[in-house]
Amino acid sequence: MTDSTPGITAALVRDLLREQHPDLAGLTLREVAGGWDNQQWRLGDGLAVRMPRTERAPGLQYKERRWLPVLAPRLPLPVPSPVRIGEPSARFPKPWTVMTWVPGEPLDRSPIGRGDDSADRLADFLKALHVEAPADAPTASDRGAHPKDCTDGFDHFFDAVAPGDIADGLRAVWDDAVAAPGWEGPPLWVHGDLHPANVVVSDGALSGVLDFGDMFAGDPAWDLAAAWVLLP
């Protein structure tokens, strides 16, 4: 990660709230571990402040602010929704966003214990998300391609990390994916970044989905691969 905006502190976030959203400035504030493009601070019990810390982060936040209010009402799991917008200022040169907080523990820190229930919830979520996207929906430049277009990258990492005892099985799965027909339907909404740090778990089951900055219109198979890394 390239952090292009160092020095994001609780004092800075508090000052920005006082300047632009003073009615929220008195709420408790604490940093939340994790995050790549954005540094997140929990605000009170029900909100979060997302502070961009990479060059691409403001564009990802804009995408969430534009499209999450459209998508969230029909999704069966809680997702963050924008509440307030922070404008660039002399204190902080990038836009930032106050979002709703999605309760639960990230899957990379709290494993799923109710696998069948979580599988059903993930299926229902993706079924609701994967509908035809409008013509002005964002497209992807670095994800969503058919596996046949990614063989060089796969071979590079496969040779570097594949354990010998499962290498043949992994290669067979990949070869099947490369041989599969491409998506021929209209572009559908795709989350684009479903991995364990971007979903949350409550009482052992999948309970929310986070970080829609990489959402795009395209092939839904990109999200279906999440079952390999999210479910036990």
Ordered per-residue pLDDT tens for the chain, 232 residues: 444 455 899 999 999 999 999 999 999 999 998 888 999 999 999 999 999 999 999 999 999 999 999 999 999 999 999 999 999 999 999 999 999 999 999 999 998 999 999 999 999 999 999 999 999 999 987 788 888 988 888 888 888 887 788 888 989 989 999 999 989 999 999 999 999 999 999 999 999 999 999 999 999 999 988 888 899 8
d(CA 67, CA 124): 20
Per-residue CA distances from 213 to 10, 134, 144 (Å): 23, 17, 14
Q: Are the C-beta atoms of residues 54 and 3 closer than 8 Å to each other?
A: yes
| Cα→Cα distances 232→23, 121, 194, 204, Å | 43, 14, 15, 11
Bridge partner residues of 49 (DSSP): 41, 98
pLDDT at 1: 45
Reduced to 3 states (helix: H, G, I; strand: E, B; else coil), residue 133 is coil
Angle subtended at Cα 105 by Cα 16 and Cα 226, rounded to the nearest 5 degrees: 105
The torsion angles phi and psi of 80, rounded to 5 degrees, stand at -70, 145
Measured in whole angstroms, how far is the alpha carbon of residue 187 from the centre of its chain? 19
Three-state secondary structure along 144-163?
CCCHHHCHHHHHHHHHHHCC
pLDDT at 6: 57
Residue type, 26: G
Map out the domains of the chain with their CATH numbers: 10-102 (3.30.200.20), 106-146+182-230 (1.10.510.10)
